[in-house]
Amino acid sequence: MEVTDFMRHIIFMLLLSCFSLVPLLAETAWAAEPGKLSIQPEVLDIGTFYSGGRVTIEGEVPKGQDVVVEISGPAANGEFDLKGRVGPFWMTNGRVEMDGAPAMYALLLPGGSDWQKKASALGLGFEKLKNKIAIQSAALSPDELFNMFLELKKSEGLYVVEDNAVAYAAANNGRRRFTATCRFPRSTAAGNYTIKATAIANGAKSMELASSFLVDEVGFARLVYDLATNQRLTYGILAVVIALFAGAVMGLLFKGGRKH
């Protein structure tokens, strides 16, 4: 009996130690090292029940400085269709090629004074993007096409500028800790993203912290996508077989069929 009690005591102490260490470990992993960004979660998974995701970025800058965070996604499909009026209908009548346009772009700003103007003056935001993207089309000017591109991306929630998205903690040891939160929309593309935090002092850039971030299709969604892309015929036959099986199961459940 004494041995059993001793074992119980040991197990209890071990469990207690483990649970006590969990928050400590989490805190250690979560805290940003000086000069580095800490991103949570480390990878954003697009799985079967993906509905967008929230990503938190933490870091430290010198005391008294402000922070603007930029997130840009992988280069998107460079080809776009341009609609025009053909008779009474709006249909595709031109092609636009864009190189260097990220699939997603988010500019996270602190609260307070007019940060959109300040960021723009520092070369951050959509104006800077326009200069980075090479637009080729005979139909319209690059400025007009860029504005249309912005409208398209904004309508999908993929290009955003967010005020009050950067918060600060109390300064400690001459460092100021910041936290920025970004909502990745449902239409986020998989790929490598770049996250850059720019520290601003007296209206000028003082330092930059950068890190890469992965958005990845995982599990069943990845399996289906890979199969449909790499084994097209197999996928087509499989889709039919699954449909026949599902139809048979439904038929058995309800003892009948219906017309189409």
Partner 1 sequence: MPWYIYLPIAQHSVALPVVVGLGFVVGLLSGLFGVGGGFLMTPLLIMIGIPPTVAAASDSNQIVAASASGTYAHYRLGNVDFKMGIYLLIGGVIGGTGGVQIIRILRQMGNADFLIKITYVVMLGFVGSYMFFESLQGLRAHKSRGGAVLENSNPVSSRFIQALPFQTHFDKSGIVLSPIVPLFLGGMVGILAAIMGVGGGFVMVPVMVYLLRMPMHVVVGTSLFQVLFTCIDVTIMQAYSNRTVDFVLALLLLVGSTFGAQIGARLSIRLKEDQLKIFLAVLVLVVMLKMLFSLVLPPHTLLSYHGGH
Residue numbers at the binding site for partner 1 (CB under 8 A): 46-52, 77, 79-84, 88-92, 95-96, 145, 148-149, 151-152, 155, 186-187, 189, 217, 220-222, 224-225, 228-229, 232-233, 235-240, 242-244, 246-248, 250-254, 256-260
Shortest Å distance, C-beta 184 to partner 1: 11
Token pair 């890469």: residue: 212
Query: Residue 46 or residue 166: which is nearer to partner 1 going by CB?
Result: 46
Shortest Å distance, C-beta 241 to partner 1: 10
Query: Residue 48 or residue 172: which is nearer to partner 1 going by CB?
Result: 48
Tokens for 109, please give them.
């700003």
Query: Residue 15 or residue 241: which is nearer to partner 1 going by CB?
Result: 241
Q: How far apart are CA 244 and CA 256, in angstroms?
A: 14
Shortest Å distance, C-beta 15 to partner 1: 33
Query: Residue 18 or residue 243: which is nearer to partner 1 going by CB?
Result: 243
Q: Residue 137: how many CB atoms within 10 A of its CB?
A: 16
Tokens for 51, please give them.
């509905």
106 touches 162 (CB < 8 A)? yes
Shortest Å distance, C-beta 174 to partner 1: 44
34 touches 167 (CB < 8 A)? no
Shortest Å distance, C-beta 223 to partner 1: 8
Q: How far apart are CA 68 and CA 160, in angstroms?
A: 13
Closest CA to 166 of 115, 227, 212, 239: 115
Query: Residue 114 or residue 151: which is nearer to partner 1 going by CB?
Result: 151
Q: How far apart are CA 112 and CA 123, in angstroms?
A: 19
